[in-house]
Chain A
Amino acid sequence: MAEGKTITLNMGPHHPATHGVLRVEVELDGEIIVKATPYIGYLHRGIEKLAESKNYQQAIPLSDRLDYASASANNMGYCTAVEKLMGIEVPKRAQYLRVIMAELARIMGHHLWIGTHALDIGAMTVIFYAFRDREMIMDINEEIAGYRLTPTFFRIGGVAADTTPDFIKKVREFVKWFPKALQGYHTLLTENKIWTTRTMGIGPISAKDAINAGLTGPSLRGSGVAYDIRKAFPYSSYDDFDFKIPVGEKGDVYDRYLVRMEEFAQSIKIIDQAIENLPEGPVAIDSPWITNPDLVSVQTDISELARRFVLHTKGPVGPDKEVYHAVEGAKGELGFYLVGDGTEHPFRMKVRSPCFYLASALPRLLVGHMIADAIAIIGSIDVVLGEIDR
């Protein structure tokens, strides 16, 4: 370390490269970071507390807004947790549709990551291509759920609606198109000299450190640990599909980049299998205590009408017990800890957000690197502040 005083530099919360409202206070010795302290809470919206005042069904839109870059993946976490609490088994077709939506959301999240990450490091072109393909997923979301970014397509006990012919067509088109687009990203970045110089050997974290820091998802797999909840604790029919867990070796920015690029391909593979083998059947369980009756019978049957009113005014009742359920979100292990108290509202909802652990690993990732590399490292762990602050 060179002699002389260190200077303290504040990045954020309004900084174009911190991906939201993350604030990092870095202490610099020349250009070398000697200390980094992340400050969070600038997007604290009280989602966990709000969920206590809403019924189980109403809290689904809140989960969309946790990791808003890949909304459906959060729906998957929340809904499967509530279903575990209530002891519901979702129909196979709904499980497959959920897998399709969650994997599309994962691709969406990775699109945002690759676009902004490359933009921060100086490769501006990638974001245009990434968002071109992201729009295709947005169209698919809109086709089936009516909403682009935060579809809220999941429901307790299934999904909101059955597929439309256009949905299947659009998903197939996307599955056919995307490998070519992915090849395009590779062409732009993977062997790009500037890109490799900016990312190789930057921000490495060993497998042991990554596990100790609680990292999950692509950031952990970049360090060589093949841990993926989709494989380790399969949920929602993930064990039906054939896919691999990509892992890196060194755990630096470039390895995390390669892992996510390979996840693109694996997600497409899962979507392809799911859409081609989509089982027939209902898309939601038919339970008078949980799911809405269909609108035709509501107009001819008083008991269905009454049930609809109670479901809308009070909501489904959860049992008096507690569960923890985790799914593989786009950023890592997204867990929901729910405590039911026998009413329509959860007594407590705790979100185990992967981004919180990623952000808390920032101090050890940043120290020893140049200030310019801080941007590459923050980009490579891919934090979303909605999930950190909740």
Chain B
Amino acid sequence: MGIENQLTGDNILVTSLNKLVNWSRSNSVWPCTFGLACCALEMIATSLASFDISRFGSEVFRPSPRQSDLLIVAGTVSKKMAPMVKRVYDQMADPKWVIAMGACASCGGTFQSYAVLQGVDQIIPVDVYLPGCPPRPEALLAGLMKIQEKIRTENLNQRPDFKPGERYETQVPKVELIR
């Protein structure tokens, strides 16, 4: 059925480290349990039986930011909440991605008011914006697939968390050699 059927006998798989890492990262994007407002309900619906986000390897919602890769900003970010959102993002370990779910997180949406942050991208970098108020679960899945697409095309040493001069310095030439 899968790749294992092709591997009868002694075989060797050749790929680049880039592809291997991106492949494994893209299929295990663990979101952070982080609901703010209405969109959180659609996020919960996405993770449950009807829409089943586990088809994409993302069913493991972690309550702790330390264990998650994806921050789904699901809902209105008020100015009082903004420091907490920033802190949750900062606590997440690299590599990490952000989905601004819904109109409020993307641009303030219908709440053009004194109390609401007009788009979460004012405090943290956003990878995918989802329109809708709230977006349908299908839209969230489409956003997740966009994230996966983005991860698969990433170059390891061009990620924002890549810090040249440390251990990578010696490893990067080896990657080039294998390729």
Contact = CB atoms under 8 A, between A and B. Distances in A.
The reply, when asked whether chain A contacts chain B directly with Cβ atoms under 8 A, is yes
Interface in B1-56: 33-38, 40-42, 44-45, 48-50
A50 B88 CA distance: 29
Contacts of A131: 44-45, 48-50
Contacts of B40: 20
A149 B44 CA distance: 12
Contacts of A176: none
B63 A16 contact: yes
Contact of A43 (B36, B41, B50): B36
A13 B36 CA distance: 9
Contacts of A138: 45
Interface in A43-90: 43-47, 49-50, 61-62, 65, 68-69
Contacts of B48: 127-128, 131-132
Interface stretch (B109-117, B120-128, B157-165): B109-117
B interface residue count range (under 10 / 10 to 19 / 20 to 34 / 35 or more): 20 to 34
B152 interface: no
Interface size range on A against B: 35 or more
Nearest to B63: A16
A229 B35 CA distance: 31
B142 interface: no
Interface in A21-53: 21, 41-47, 49-50
B78 A69 contact: no
A134 interface: yes
Interface of B: 33-38, 40-42, 44-45, 48-50, 63, 75-76, 78, 80-81, 84, 88, 110-116, 133-134, 136
Given A21-B81, A127-B44, 20 more contacts: A13-B84, A14-B84, A20-B35, A43-B36, A43-B75, A44-B80, A45-B76, A45-B78, A45-B111, A49-B113, A65-B37, A68-B37, A115-B44, A128-B48, A132-B49, A148-B42, A150-B38, A150-B133, A150-B134, A389-B78
